Chains A and B, each alone.
Chain A
């Protein structure tokens, strides 16, 4: 994959220069702080104990995985593909000595890095917030559980990102891709709730699969099955997205 490294670094430079990451980070911090404020107010008002220091990150995680994180991932993916097609800057990369597979992998790799960094950032902030506002019971095991939960959440979000990438390469308009992505996301969740028999086939129902990984009794076969389903889904989406990207005439 000649030229992949250069393309990967370039995509990262472009991503960082556009201040999207910073916006995402600020919004994430705000989200965590508001969540924490709500929890603290609740505790004070009702005298209930809702979340301990390492429980708090796990309280925050589903909120992010169903809202801000897929939203920002969609933005970044649309910007990398439709944004560049429409601005005419895609050809700047495609006329350099780098294969289209290299360019595609560089873009997808950066989306993956974006998701991972965001997750780890949210984890850190929520851990710190948890320790500040609810100091108390927590150990290294608790922190490791939190880390595991955040790391495995990467997988379903990344599969969703690959779906968005596929849509980016099917549809020309970035706005249309955005609405379709939101529609698919919400639609899949709704289908998963209405027809729970099929829910295990939809990657959206795996957004909370971290609970399987950190539960007290781990079911290895279920984990294996879900991992297989998610990776199969991801591979198909990646291949379809790359096929369209490679065939595209400018």
Chain B
């Protein structure tokens, strides 16, 4: 039997009244990929990611996560996913630990030890009894990552995961992504505008422009033909802009 893809996006359409949106998006991500999702502002990155986690309904099309349809088998599909969409939010009136305790209730196998482990991984263990209201942007981002990791998901969907992180935080984040990918085989789907970081982290890159996927390629193939991912990105966006 053929193994289900980590992500299958099939004929996805979503149009806003302002004429922007995504049209006929098709994409497959294999298990174990670190997939970088690149595109200029307003290209439809966040829209696609919101549909992937069921926050938004597509006009047509479907997203399958390890074979489970987000649109029709939402609960089953979401068991595989951990995500941060747009901004890493938390309940400001709860402590870091209490925030994670809320999310832990949705999973059978997440206990206090796992909560502490996630706080440890993200460097928040010292602040676990502090209310999230007092957290800096970077600390909120870390808490968001801890919440996404909590259930040991097979797929992590991260929208701009480096937002608000300092240099050390960025390095930590990059290391964490690599480590989870290598040790647990976690698949990643990451959108970022920090193209250099995508080059260093992602094994595959997809470029979205004006709501359409213009190209998907392995990072090592890109770097064999272009000096950097930035050059590739600019040439792809340029080419699509001209068409």
Complex-state Cα separation, A162 to B36, whole angstroms: 44
Q: Shortest distance in angstroms between B26's beta carbon and chain A's nearest beta carbon?
A: 21
Please name all residues of chain A whose beta carbon is closer than 8 Å to the beta carbon of B174 when the two chains form the complex: none
The answer to whether A88 has its CB under 8 Å from any CB of chain B is yes
The answer to whether A91 has its CB under 8 Å from any CB of chain B is yes
Please name all residues of chain B whose beta carbon is closer than 8 Å to the beta carbon of A17 when the two chains form the complex: 93-94, 98
Please name all residues of chain A whose beta carbon is closer than 8 Å to the beta carbon of B79 when the two chains form the complex: 97
B89 touches A92 (CB 8 A): yes
Task: Give the most central of A14, A17, A96: most B CB within 10 Å.
Answer: A96
The answer to whether A194 has its CB under 8 Å from any CB of chain B is no
Please name all residues of chain A whose beta carbon is closer than 8 Å to the beta carbon of B83 when the two chains form the complex: 95
B75 touches A87 (CB 8 A): no
Q: A91-B55, A97-B75, A249-B56 are in contact. Are A18 and B106 (CB under 8 A)?
A: no
Q: A3-B106, A95-B53, A250-B55 are in contact. Are A89 and B75 (CB under 8 A)?
A: no
Please name all residues of chain A whose beta carbon is closer than 8 Å to the beta carbon of B98 when the two chains form the complex: 13, 17
Complex-state Cα separation, A14 to B87, whole angstroms: 20
B residues neighboring A (CB under 8 Å)? 50, 53-57, 74-76, 78-79, 81, 83, 85-87, 89-94, 98, 102-103, 105-107, 147
B55 touches A94 (CB 8 A): yes
The answer to whether A147 has its CB under 8 Å from any CB of chain B is no
Q: Shortest distance in angstroms between A246's beta carbon and chain B's nearest beta carbon?
A: 9
Please name all residues of chain A whose beta carbon is closer than 8 Å to the beta carbon of B56 when the two chains form the complex: 249-250
B75 touches A95 (CB 8 A): no
Please name all residues of chain B whose beta carbon is closer than 8 Å to the beta carbon of A9 when the two chains form the complex: 105
A95 touches B89 (CB 8 A): no
The answer to whether A99 has its CB under 8 Å from any CB of chain B is yes
A10 touches B102 (CB 8 A): yes
Q: State the total of A-B contacts with C-beta under 8 angstroms.
A: 67
B78 touches A96 (CB 8 A): yes
Interface string of A64-105 (1 = CB under 8 A from B): 000000000000000000000001110110111111000000
Q: A14-B91, A87-B89, A97-B79 are in contact. Are A92 and B57 (CB under 8 A)?
A: no
Give which listed residue, A89, A91, A97, contacts B91 with CB less than 8 A.
A89
A91 touches B89 (CB 8 A): yes
Q: Shortest distance in angstroms between A166's beta carbon and chain B's nearest beta carbon?
A: 20
A99 touches B75 (CB 8 A): yes
Q: Please tell me the size bucket of the interface on A.
A: 20 to 34
The answer to whether A247 has its CB under 8 Å from any CB of chain B is yes
The answer to whether A6 has its CB under 8 Å from any CB of chain B is yes
B90 touches A92 (CB 8 A): yes
Q: Shortest distance in angstroms between B108's beta carbon and chain A's nearest beta carbon?
A: 10
Interface string of A4-41 (1 = CB under 8 A from B): 01110110011001100000000000000000000000
Complex-state Cα separation, A191 to B85, whole angstroms: 46
B55 touches A18 (CB 8 A): no
The answer to whether A151 has its CB under 8 Å from any CB of chain B is no
Complex-state Cα separation, A88 to B55, whole angstroms: 12
Complex-state Cα separation, A9 to B103, whole angstroms: 11
Complex-state Cα separation, A126 to B83, whole angstroms: 49
Q: A95-B78, A96-B78 are in contact. Are A6 and B105 (CB under 8 A)?
A: yes
Give B50's nearest chain A residue, CB to CB.
A250
A99 touches B55 (CB 8 A): no
Please name all residues of chain A whose beta carbon is closer than 8 Å to the beta carbon of B90 when the two chains form the complex: 89, 92
Please name all residues of chain B whose beta carbon is closer than 8 Å to the beta carbon of A249 when the two chains form the complex: 50, 55-57
Complex-state Cα separation, A95 to B85, whole angstroms: 9
- Docked complex: A236-250 residues within 8 A CB-CB of B: 247, 249-250
Complex-state Cα separation, A224 to B107, whole angstroms: 43
Q: A13-B102, A88-B87, A250-B56 are in contact. Are A95 and B81 (CB under 8 A)?
A: yes
Please name all residues of chain B whose beta carbon is closer than 8 Å to the beta carbon of A94 when the two chains form the complex: 54-55
Task: Give the most central of A3, A91, A95, A99: most B CB within 10 Å.
Answer: A95
> Could you give 11 example pairs across A and B, Cβ below 8 Å?
A7-B106, A9-B105, A88-B87, A88-B89, A92-B91, A92-B147, A95-B78, A97-B78, A97-B79, A247-B57, A250-B56
- Docked complex: A138-163 residues within 8 A CB-CB of B: none
Please name all residues of chain B whose beta carbon is closer than 8 Å to the beta carbon of A10 when the two chains form the complex: 102, 105
The answer to whether A50 has its CB under 8 Å from any CB of chain B is no
Please name all residues of chain B whose beta carbon is closer than 8 Å to the beta carbon of A2 when the two chains form the complex: 75
Complex-state Cα separation, A249 to B103, whole angstroms: 22
Give B56's nearest chain A residue, CB to CB.
A249
Give which listed residue, B75, B85, B89, B93, contacts A98 with CB less than 8 A.
B75
A89 touches B106 (CB 8 A): no
